[in-house]
Amino acid sequence: MQILQVTPRYYPELQFGGLPQTVHDLSRGLQKRGHRVWVVTLHSSERATAQVEQDGIRVCYLPWMGSDTRQIPLGTGMLGALVPEADVVHCYGLYNLLCPMAALLALRAGKPFVLEPLGMYTPRARSLRAKRIYHRLFTSWMSRRATRVITTSPGEMEELAALVNPQRLVLRRNGIDIEPFQDLPPAGRFRAEHGIRDGERVILYVGRISPIKNLAQLVQAFYDVALEQTRLVLVGPALEPGYARELTRLVAILGLDRRVLFTGPLYGEDKLAALAAADLFVLPSLSENYGNAAAEAVAAGVPVLLTDSCGIAPRIDGRAGMAVPVGVSSLARGMQIMIKDPAALDKLTRQRSAVLGELSWDEPLAQTEELYKAVLRDAS
């Protein structure tokens, strides 16, 4: 098969969360299975047309106008040329103009397209009015015309059930590359670099510094639980400066300046070093269609506390960590249990090895491949 992946963000722009890595991993996995894969995307800062290779994947960057968060694709001749050559067009995400454009071109060329909303269907956190307008203009139309709509959690599947015919709705989890997390750097490296003393516990968050990640509640819960000799380490890019300033002010108001550490974004070996130093990983999000960061923490052997609004929560809860409702008190209680009660922690994480076997890309890749084959059968 020749597969065209259409995504507003792509590897190596990891500052935009899990999407760039996820699409890259899927593309590499499909290529290893003998398929030809093209990726069409937009760069966050470079505005000119460019074609490059990323780990053997051919990537076409389209020109655009606007801002880095509101991009209007231009010069779509390349996209228009690639769509008729593809067997399947796979569109990732909502709230961008690239995917509706690709979907329209696919329909005109008589090519099936698959839509993967990435948990974005229910508007949350910010720009709610603009997101509702996008749904009226594009989401409803794409959902009706897509050959399949992919969800990555049962919760997302429920959200889309009223919009998409159940026969076209598919549940397929995400995956991670487990291998890098099996050989972590020494824990002392990260501690030395960031002034964390021996004997201090580390509660770690890795992800975007964004309202959807619910970090204000995490900081408040950390203050309320008052754990001695414990640092809260927040790792990730601050793409929304206003929210980052609010969070910094909250830390100062609570007198946590010396106990809460903002490291900025960390990737590769630096992220692995942070996981090696962690005693507990926390993902307090208001919503996550999956939660790759929590999966990576499991792969690194770190106990996980996460909110039950994360798609991966049922897989982790009581097996490799603990899922709690969104809220300051529940997050504080979860931290208290997992840091101060070794017996409870052991019970909550004793099935980690079984969970680890459920996190690789093997199953999702096979499922995606079969999905494409079914789509082509339907179109024939």
DSSP 294-334: HHHHHHTT--EEEETTBTTHHHHBTTTEEEE-SSHHHHHHH
Using one digit for the tens of pLDDT, what is the confidence trace for 132-182? 888 888 989 999 999 999 998 888 888 888 888 889 999 999 999 999 999
Q: Is 190 found in the same domain as 124?
A: no
pLDDT of 125 reads 60
Average pLDDT, the chain: 93
- Tell me, what DSSP letter sits at residue 217? H
Using one digit for the tens of pLDDT, what is the confidence trace for 56-82? 999 999 999 998 778 999 978 889 999
Q: Is 158 found in the same domain as 50?
A: yes
Q: Is 263 found in the same domain as 156?
A: no
The pLDDT of 246-260, averaged and rounded, is 96
Q: Is 183 found in the same domain as 152?
A: no
Percent of the chain with pLDDT over 70: 99
If one counts the domains in the chain, the total is 2
Q: Is 144 found in the same domain as 11?
A: yes
Q: Is 148 found in the same domain as 13?
A: yes
Exposure of 162 in the CB half-sphere (CA atoms within 13 A): 4
Question: With bands split at pLDDT 50, 70 and 90, how would you rate the model's confidence at 195?
Answer: very high
Using one digit for the tens of pLDDT, what is the confidence trace for 276-334? 999 999 999 998 889 999 999 999 999 999 999 999 999 999 999 999 999 999 999 99
Using one digit for the tens of pLDDT, what is the confidence trace for 333-359? 999 999 999 999 999 999 999 999 899
Q: Is 245 found in the same domain as 117?
A: no
Q: Is 114 found in the same domain as 223?
A: no
Q: Is 208 found in the same domain as 142?
A: no
pLDDT of 12 reads 94
Q: What is the CATH number of the domain that holds 286?
A: 3.40.50.2000
Whole-angstrom Cα distance, residue 92 to residue 150? 9
Q: Is 84 found in the same domain as 228?
A: no
Q: Is 226 found in the same domain as 150?
A: no
pTM: 0.91
Q: Furthest-apart CA pair in the chain: how many Å?
A: 65
Structural domain range at position 268: 179-356
What is the SS3 assignment for 268?
coil
Q: Is 204 found in the same domain as 327?
A: yes
pLDDT of 171 reads 94
pLDDT of 124 reads 66
